[in-house]
Structure formats: C-alpha cells, structure tokens
Structure 1
C-alpha cells in the first residue's frame, strides 16, 4: 500500500496579536516535534507589522515552514500601527472577499511545495468553512480559555431565554448583571452571574452584529470542525472541558503551549528530518518591537518585588484611568514594570503628543515619581518577563494568553477585565482558581495602591495565600507538559489522530 501524503497544515488565526501568537506556538511545535509541514497565513496588514517590528527575516520561514498572506478586507489607509477595530475586522472578514483569497492560497501553496494541504487550522469560521468546501478537515484552534468557549456557546441560549439582549441600558449599571444568576450551564459553577459571561451579551440591540457573529461562529465551530484544540490543561479547567466534550467535536487540550514547547526541547526528542532546521529565531509573532532593556532592569530588583502591568494588544484605557493608575502605582510603594503601547499613549494624549514617550501623557507632578519607581515601555517580551524572579504580581486585562502565562509561572493577578472573554477568565481566576483579585469596575488610585500592597506585601495573609496557590498551579502546569503529562499525551494524540492519521499504519 502506498504511504499516505505528508501532513501539511495551513494555519489562519484571527488577525489579532494574542490569536496569532498562540497559533504560531502550536504551528512551531507541530513542525519541530512532529515534522508537520506548515503554511502560516497572516493578514496582509499583520504581515507588514511583523516585518516592520522584526524585519523581513522573521517571515522567511524555514524548510517545511512557509508564510503567506491574504487581505483582511480593511482599507489600505487603516492604521497599521495600532490594534484594528474589532468590529470592523470581524465584519470585513465576514464580508465575503476573504474566502476566495484563502482558497487561492491553498491552491498556490500546493503548487509551490508539491504537498497539498491536508487540513486547515483556524479560529476564523469562514476559514473552516472554506476548508470543508475543499474537502479538507477543518480543525478549530480556540485560543481563549475552555470556560470562555462554554460561555460563548451559551449566547444563543441566553437569547432564547429572553435574558439577552438587555431590556434597557440601565441594566448595565443597576446591578442586573450581578443579580441575574445563570445556573444551568454544564461544567460551570451554579452561581455564575450574567456579568461573568462574555461581554458580547451586554447589548440592548436585538440585531447586535457582534452578538450575531458569536452565535453563528459557535454553531459553525460545532458543525464545521473535525476537532477542537484548546490552549489549556486538564487540571485547570477539567470540569468545563469534560462538559464541552459532550457538545463539540473531539477536544485536545495541549497547553500551556510555551511550556509544552520548552518541555519538548528539554526532553531531547529528536526532530524528524523535515523539522531539522530550527527556525525559532525567525518565527516570532510580535507586531511591536520588544524592549529587552526591561529584563536588565528586573535583574536589579529583589525577588517577587515588582508589579507587572500590561493591558494587552487591543485594550485602550482612558487618560483618566491611566492617570489614576499611575497615582495608585506610585503610592503603592512597590516597583512596577508598565507596558503602555504607543497607540494607547496617543489615545490618552487626545490623538496627538509624543506616542514614543508614555510618561509625557502624565501630569508633570507625577512624572518624576513614576520615573523613580517604575520602568515604562511600549512593548516587552512578556513570556520572559513573567518567568523572571523579580515579578511578584501581574495587573492584567485578563486576556487568555496573559492569564495562562501567569498561571504557568506562578504569578498572582490583579484583574481588570475589559471585554470579550475577559470577564469569564476573571471570574475563574478570582473565584475558582483563587489566584486573582478583581480591581473593580473603575480604576481609583487609592484602591489600586491598597490592592497592590495587599497582593505584593510579604506580611498580609491574603497575598501570602494567593502566592501559595499560584505556585501550586505552576506545579500542575509543569506536570501537564512533561512526558506522560496530560498535555504531552494529548499532543501526541492530536498528531496521530488529527494531523497524521494512519501514518504509523502499514
């Protein structure tokens, strides 16, 4: 019997920093550890951003690992430097121009490499549908948490039960979101509140475009996918993963992906010939230039003494929130490493000002205080920062990549969720895993200072307990990714059952 065609996975992540970074971790791991041929598809806008931040060499790929690009539908004059408008990006992808471009990529890559695609991996449902149209397995890589996936799957049920959309805007502020208990979701706590669900339910519009896209995307994930990959580990989200396994196609939990990649390298697994060229230096995904100087600054700080502050690649705080946060950090008495993106600084300055100098947006009387206690930068190598011994806590927007990296490195969190899946992640971090405290609906300097001292302080019981629990989760994450651990075993199953079925069969 002739041998099966070599596996060739085509990746297209949703074109936002967190989604691309997680997908690239998975793609690199499949290529390096299993010899899977990979074509990684950026949007054209993101391709320009990676080239600008890291140079064209970052897109050169390696033997068996190629990069390609398709239009995302946004106008050419759309700002390349800041994060895209989420609704505009969603609607532009859904508008219909994406599918023919993506199918053309699949055809061109087959012609160029002599190895036709054998599956498509994406969290963009139109890419999954395009794969099915071409007779290819469609593998959904869901980059947020398992609990956020379950919460997103409930959007249609919340609509059917008349809970969503909200009756009026007052329900956003009168306690309705806290009083409304959603106790019927399998695998989730019975005291989940409506405020703990994905932010897309916070609408009064019965024709809300984003809510409609979420509902349709969840249906497509259930019906158009041959498998679902999750960047999490069983010990962290076991109950909800078990419940999801009865609702969606076969699930493979393979996280935390950076730690799984590290464990694979440390185990001295011999890479197959197709992956002999390690392109790790050229496969970075950051859309911004990373400031490595912050690591040198951290080396001069005491262990677990520094608060790391980063609201991710999309969130923009108001100038008032940023000033209140700065006063609170300064008053806490602790050193801090604070990431303020250039586009965020420009927004805070009213669209003008010097976006390269985040301190310039602060009141004059605050600038010297901040300079004395903190290190401000526009972007940093977050995985390396969270691994650093000097980091004692993380003030985060609760994006899943950030939260999972904190969990995997034993770092307690101050949680300030802003949208999408972040409310659900915050609930789990604070109530289920008990490694986080919620900052609240607003940022107030006195409360920020108090919470930083509480979490970072060496004397307080609450901070001590959080650190102990965080270290416990770090140990569980480490156990999941070593040979024989749940994520290690699930990755092997993923390769054999999804990407290379029958490769070991005669």
Structure 2
C-alpha cells in the first residue's frame, strides 16, 4: 500500500526509552505513513542511530521514508524516571514546528497542517500536559500485551485488596478474582514480577502513568484482538476509543538478515532441529542461574543458536568467552543475531525466550513454540499467555531466582524439539501464526482497527 501524495495531518510520536518501546513505535510510524499521515518521532539520542538505520535502510520503509522524520531528544524518556523532562519535551516540539504558545492547528494554503494535530506517546511517557499545552489531543500507545495493560491499570485496586506488593500479600495462594477479562485463572504469585516489591516498588510509577493516561482521548494497543479477545473486550468497554493494531514489528534491515553468518549456518541443519535462545536487551540473571542454563543446554546435546548478551552484570568478558569455547562444538553463540530471520528459518524447532512482548509476537508470527523463562517486568504475563492460553509454550522458570536445574532445562529442550508435546505445541503455534497473519491483511481486525484510528484522529 503506497501512501497518497496529499497529506493533511502530522502526528508527533514519543516512544519511551528502550528498544522494546522504540521498535513498535517505528512500525506504528511506518503504518501511519502508508495511510497518508506524516509522523515526527521524538527519539532519545542514544537510540537515534538505530532508528535512522531502520528507517533509511530497511526496504519495508521505502514507500514511507519521506513521511517520517526523526528528531533527537537530549534527555532519556525513561519509564522509571520520576523527574521525566516533560517541559523539555514540550519545548522540543515547539522548536521543531516553530510554534508559539497559542498557535492553532491551521491548515496552510497547500493543505498541510503547520502544527501537529495529534500527540501519540508511550504510556510510560507522562506527557498529557504537553498535549494540553499545545491544544492537541493525545493518544496513549501501549506496547505490551493488553493483559498486562489491564493489570497495570488496576494497581490501585490490587493494592486496596492486599494483592500488591506480592511478597507481603496475605493472598499468595489465592486466585485474583477482582480483575475482569482474565484469559486464565491468575494467582497472586503470578501477578507481574515488577509488582513483587522486593527490591523496587514499581506501583507508584504505574499509578502515576495511568492517572496521566486517563485524560487521553484514545488508546493504541500492540496486540491482536483475536489472541486476547476477553481482555480486549473489557478494555474497549472501559476506555474511550481502544484500537488493537498489532503486531507492530518493524522490518529488519535486509542485508543484516540475509547475509548474516548464522543464517548460512542454519542452512546446513535439518528442519526443526535447532533451538534459538535470546533473552532480550535488558534481562539480568544471577551467575548460578546462568551456569545452570549453560549446563542444561550442554546436557541436552541439541544444536542451538544463542544471541548472548551480558545477562550476568558482574561477569567479565573472559567468562563469556569461556562459555563460547565450552559450547562451540554444539551450537553458535553470537553477540547479536537477526531474530526474525532466524525464527522464520526452517531449521528452527523452538525459541527459548525471556518472554518480552516483542519476542512473543515474533514467535507468533513465525509459528514457533517456546520455552519460557520470564525474568522481570510483565514478562510472566506473556509466559502465562503462551503456556496456559495459547498452548504454544512450556514454562522453564518464573523470575530470576526461581528453582531451576540442569536436568529440568535439558528435559524441556528435548521435549520441545523431539517430544510429542513439542509437536502438538508446534501445530498450535502454526495455527496462531495464521490468526495473526489474517489480522494484518486488508479486512483483518488489526488492519481495519488502524484504518479506524486514522479516520478518527487524522481524517482526510
């Protein structure tokens, strides 16, 4: 779908810090550009090179490139930063669009709006005041599962009922019955890991973000209605203008994927014989847990590709080099790998994941079953969906300090790649792939929801 030439609306898009927030924002911008909307993305300066590379070099942006503008922001828009520089953000937008305080969104003679007509911001960027000051509507962008959104929005209720913080809750062994639309029974001990409250209490920040978001005029959700039907229905009934438009996965830079040595290595492996392992960009594991993981992988004797980041903060480079040498005859350990291309490769039989939402969506899009070990944030909600709702995953661990062992990890790998349960999960994963693919096509739920969003906020 090529964008039309005449454009009447400019949207300012503000992602939060972190690639888990930036990547879906880039794809949102691409899809808006294909619908004749110009998009200015305010990008934290450390992420600017990655954003530029994707927009300028990825073939998927070819027809959208002229309609997307990247503007650096000097300060981090971090989700956990209590002194978030919203005043500075407002000033950046003013300077970029040369706005005076009371300038209205008046179309110029050529039909283009000289001021942004809409502000879309990540839920964790509390910038409703920016939208109010600029006299434009704001739409909240939620980049994770709607299940997680529903729970985050219910934090005040869960505090009042004693379910949060989890580590001091008197209801640990009980099912949480106060939350509507839960796809499976949810025990208190299975609430998002960020609300356990052991080292850090995330609750005040979550409350502040959702109070700020309550003044917004709409919600964009990076999910597919069919895969979260129950909780999407609840959110639609409670929130003004709710648009499930996922999966928002930006296209990879083509040469990174096709010419990567990992792809050539996979070409020589039998179908469904290789385990892909990746734990995201920010996961942290205790050393003893990491060592169990390595031992279990080694005991499985199964081929693998491991995109290994430094998940053990205290470990030196030599430690990671020794792990690479130890596993060299069994599989590949690399610093970075083109994840989407790997998951789509016919030799991949499973994905060992930290259950970040972007990785979860990529597994669904590829039809690949999963081994799930959630480490933090809301990742255990995604693990719950994969293991108990969709039936495409097996839980290996829950939290960084859970009880795992070498034998259990090896058995889980073997079961996924060679067992009957793994075959059944693979079949269900392929069925889910079809559901997600249909939602993205013209006439599908996500495609039409995006069209409805544009008609509502950016009418021609």
Q: TM-score band (shorter)? A: 0.7 to 0.9
1:458-469 equivalent positions in 2, closer than 5 A: 460-469=419-428
State the secondary structure of the residue aligned to 1:416.
strand
State the secondary structure of the residue aligned to 2:231.
helix
CA drift of 1:353 comes to: 2.8
Residue of structure 2 aligned with 1:180, choices 166, 174, 180: 174
- Alignment match, 2:441: 482
Residue of structure 2 aligned with 1:353, choices 317, 331, 347: 317
1:332-351 equivalent positions in 2, closer than 5 A: 332-341=300-309, 343-344=310-311, 347=313, 349=315
Distance 2:198 2:365 in 1: 38
State the secondary structure of the residue aligned to 1:297.
helix
- Alignment match, 2:232: 241
State the secondary structure of the residue aligned to 1:63.
helix
Tell whether 2:268 aligns with 1:300.
yes
- Alignment match, 2:90: 103
State the secondary structure of the residue aligned to 2:128.
helix
- Alignment match, 1:495: 454
Distance 1:325 1:190 in 2: 29
Q: Deviations over 1:201-231 (max 9, x none)?
A: 21269xx65210101212222x222111111
- Alignment match, 2:144: 144
What runs of 5+ residues in structure 1 fail to find an aligned partner? 75-88, 263-279
TM-score under structure 2 length normalisation: 0.86
Question: Residues 10 and 118 of structure 2 are in contact (CA less than 8 Å); yes or no, is this contact kept in structure 1?
Answer: yes
- Alignment match, 1:210: 202
Distance 1:384 1:69, change over 3 A: same
- Alignment match, 2:366: 409
Question: Residues 55 and 65 of structure 2 are in contact (CA less than 8 Å); yes or no, is this contact kept in structure 1?
Answer: no
CA drift of 1:448 comes to: 0.8
Distance 1:180 1:121 in 2: 38
Distance 1:152 1:55, change over 3 A: closer
Q: CA RMSD in A?
A: 3.0
- Alignment match, 2:103: none
Distance 2:156 2:46 in 1: 32
Q: Which runs of 4+ in 1 moved over 6 A?
A: 55-61
Question: Residues 397 and 416 of structure 1 are in contact (CA less than 8 Å); yes or no, is this contact kept in structure 2?
Answer: yes
Tell whether 2:383 aligns with 1:426.
yes
CA drift of 1:249 comes to: 2.2
Question: Residues 128 and 139 of structure 1 are in contact (CA less than 8 Å); yes or no, is this contact kept in structure 2?
Answer: no
Q: Deviations over 1:10-58 (max 9, x none)?
A: 1111110111001101111211x1121111111123236667xx59967
Q: Deviations over 1:50-95 (max 9, x none)?
A: 67xx599679994332111223359xxxxxxxxxxxxxx4443x31
CA drift of 1:199 comes to: 1.9
Q: Deviations over 1:153-172 (max 9, x none)?
A: 2211111112323574xx6x
Tell whether 2:406 aligns with 1:445.
yes
Distance 1:47 1:474 in 2: 32
Question: Residues 354 and 374 of structure 2 are in contact (CA less than 8 Å); yes or no, is this contact kept in structure 1?
Answer: yes
Distance 1:125 1:257, change over 3 A: closer
Distance 1:56 1:255, change over 3 A: closer
> Relative contact order (C-alpha < 8 Å, sep 6+): which is higher?
1
Distance 1:386 1:370, change over 3 A: same
Question: Residues 183 and 190 of structure 1 are in contact (CA less than 8 Å); yes or no, is this contact kept in structure 2?
Answer: no
Distance 1:435 1:42, change over 3 A: same
Question: Residues 348 and 361 of structure 1 are in contact (CA less than 8 Å); yes or no, is this contact kept in structure 2?
Answer: no
Question: Residues 221 and 242 of structure 2 are in contact (CA less than 8 Å); yes or no, is this contact kept in structure 1?
Answer: yes
CA drift of 1:361 comes to: 4.2
Distance 1:326 1:471 in 2: 29
Distance 1:234 1:348 in 2: 42
CA drift of 1:130 comes to: 1.3
Distance 1:307 1:29, change over 3 A: same
Distance 2:161 2:230 in 1: 24
State the secondary structure of the residue aligned to 1:117.
coil
- Alignment match, 2:66: 63
Distance 1:202 1:311 in 2: 21
- Alignment match, 1:36: 37
- Alignment match, 2:119: 120
Distance 1:291 1:314, change over 3 A: farther
What runs of 5+ residues in structure 2 fail to find an aligned partner? 1-5, 100-111
Distance 1:336 1:389 in 2: 13
- Alignment match, 1:277: none
- Of stretches 413-422 and 182-191 in structure 1, the one that deviates more from structure 2 is 182-191
Distance 1:322 1:220 in 2: 39
State the secondary structure of the residue aligned to 2:374.
coil
Question: Residues 290 and 379 of structure 1 are in contact (CA less than 8 Å); yes or no, is this contact kept in structure 2?
Answer: no
TM-score under structure 1 length normalisation: 0.79
Q: Deviations over 1:252-297 (max 9, x none)?
A: 1112234xx88xxxxxxxxxxxxxxxxx869x9x9xx999221121
- Alignment match, 1:46: 47
Question: Residues 306 and 337 of structure 1 are in contact (CA less than 8 Å); yes or no, is this contact kept in structure 2?
Answer: yes
The alignment covers a number of residue pairs equal to 434
Distance 1:56 1:490, change over 3 A: closer
Distance 1:324 1:177, change over 3 A: farther
Question: Residues 181 and 194 of structure 1 are in contact (CA less than 8 Å); yes or no, is this contact kept in structure 2?
Answer: yes
State the secondary structure of the residue aligned to 1:451.
helix
Question: Residues 317 and 348 of structure 1 are in contact (CA less than 8 Å); yes or no, is this contact kept in structure 2?
Answer: no
Distance 1:381 1:474, change over 3 A: same
Question: Residues 40 and 68 of structure 1 are in contact (CA less than 8 Å); yes or no, is this contact kept in structure 2?
Answer: yes
